[in-house]
Amino acid sequence: MRHILKPQAYVRYGDDFVLFLPTRKAVYETRKKSIQFLSEQLKLSLNPKNNIVCRGRDGLHFLGHVITRDYCVVDKHTSKSIIDKLTVWNAASYNSLKLVPQLKEQINRELIEKILDFYRF
């Protein structure tokens, strides 16, 4: 991908990917090449629902994150899921995520509450 399509940047996780290109024209040319390569070489197709073009400043939801040209943060749905699944035992694993300050504060409050509940039991 990097050598043939030459995007400015890209993010890939498993079979999901996002390409960043400088112009709308480059996006549509690269999209055409990608669809052709996936179809002919790999016998794969893109999901039309997820095969979208958007401007960097508008933001894109990708793998539980909102990505813009200025930042990348965990989206609201994933944030709620984090709060729902938070335990004393897995709290440390959420420290590496880029969370908005309000969510970090909420996680800390929830964690303190869960720790207190744990010791009350």
Structural domains counted in the chain:
2
Q: What is the mean pLDDT of residues 39-64?
A: 86
Q: Are the beta carbons of 5 and 11 closer than 8 angstroms? A: no
Asked whether residue 68 is assigned to any structural domain, the reply reads no
Under the banding of pLDDT at 50, 70 and 90, the label for residue 96 is low
% of the chain exceeding 70 in pLDDT:
97
28 within some domain: yes
Same domain assignment for residues 13 and 49? yes
* pLDDT score recorded for residue 28: 92
Q: Would residue 60 count as lying in a domain? A: no
Do residue 112 and residue 79 come from a single domain? yes
Are 48 and 80 within one domain? no
Q: Are residues 49 and 17 in the same domain?
A: yes
Residues 48 and 16 in one domain: yes
- pLDDT of residue 48 exceeding 90: no
Q: Exposure of 21 by Cβ count < 10 A (0-12 exposed, 13-18 middle, 19+ buried)?
A: buried
10-45 residue pLDDT tens: 888 888 888 888 889 999 999 998 889 889 988 998
C-alpha closest to that of 121 among 93, 91, 86, 88? 88
Domain range holding 116?
74-120
- Whether 85 is covered by a domain: the verdict is yes
Tell me, yes or no, whether 111 lies in a domain. Answer: yes
Residue 35 lies in a domain: yes
Q: Look at residue 58 and tell me if it is in a domain.
A: no
As a whole-number percent, the residues of the chain with pLDDT over 90 amount to 7
CA 78 to chain centre: 10
The answer to whether position 3 is within a domain reads no
Chain mean pLDDT for the chain: 82
Specify whether 46 is located in the same domain as 78.
no
